[in-house]
Amino acid sequence: MEDKMSGFSMRNFSTLKVKRDIYERSRQNMLDTQLIPRGINQPEVLHAMLTIPRHLFVDEALWSQAYTDHALPIGEKQTISQPYMVAFMTESLGLRGDEKVLEIGTGSGYQSAVLSMMAHKVYSIERLGKIAARSRKLLDGFMCPNVIIRVSDGTLGWPDEAPFDAIIVTAGSPVVPDALIGQLKPGGRLVIPVGEEEAQKLLRITRREDGSAETEVLGGCKFVKLIGKQGWQEAPRERFL
């Protein structure tokens, strides 16, 4: 069934195995108080945020905070992004439903689940095996068959599956990794936080048909570090943790 307004395929909406739950009102409230007043208006983004049970992507002890206006810890010193940031970055990718999307930084898998409802296929790379294993289990349980998770250094992209219509990086980088721009299709968009450790600017880089790139600054943000060959260097002691 096609959504006539946007041409969106409803395929993923029906395969996502989501039961009614006691947090439905919290999700509606999240839309009404955090997303819509700040300008999120793409119906498919709002629908995905209303549908996906964000609480299941955090530890049960944090369920009561899952729909608040904050990032939350997910273990291994990593975080699930604030709902507004997930919605804003997703909307910034300009998805129509038929895209091949690359995500760097799977983390909890929540952003991947949102993307799974918005695109044809999602390739997600996570650096930490333990986190990737948990997210894979969770997404398999929701029947998100169009999300593939791999453990590797996402700053190098996913050459075997390139090029992509859109790339989203959910960790902060000191530079824009060249490899990622190189893996965009002409007209493709890369959304990435770039800057210092403590604060970054969210950039959208669009690859033009002639191969050149246009950069827009979408706003300020704060993400955990993107660690890899074309990101931050791993601190020596972290290697032994």
Binding site for ligand SAH (CB under 6 A): 78-81, 104-105, 107-108, 110-111, 125-128, 131, 153-155, 170-171, 224, 226-228, 231
Helix (H) / strand (E) containing 43: helix 43-51
81 assigned to active site: yes
Min CB(169)–ligand SAH separation in Å: 8
Identify which of residues 104 and 221 has a Cβ nearer to ligand SAH in the complex. Answer: 104
Q: Which residues contact 98 (CB under 8 A, 6 or more apart)?
A: 9, 119, 120
Min CB(15)–ligand SAH separation in Å: 20
Neighbours of 175 (CB within 10 A): 13
CA dist 150 and 129 (Å) reads 9
CA dist 144 and 15 (Å) reads 7
Identify which of residues 66 and 184 has a Cβ nearer to ligand SAH in the complex. Answer: 66
Marked catalytic residue, from 64, 81, 152, 173: 81
Identify which of residues 111 and 146 has a Cβ nearer to ligand SAH in the complex. Answer: 111
83-92 and 43-51 helices, crossing angle to 10°: 140
Residue 200 DSSP SS3:
strand
Min CB(118)–ligand SAH separation in Å: 14
Identify which of residues 3 and 76 has a Cβ nearer to ligand SAH in the complex. Answer: 76
CA dist 13 and 8 (Å) reads 10
Min CB(131)–ligand SAH separation in Å: 5
Q: Are strands 121-126 and 147-151 parallel, antiparallel or unpaired?
A: parallel
List the catalytic residues: 81
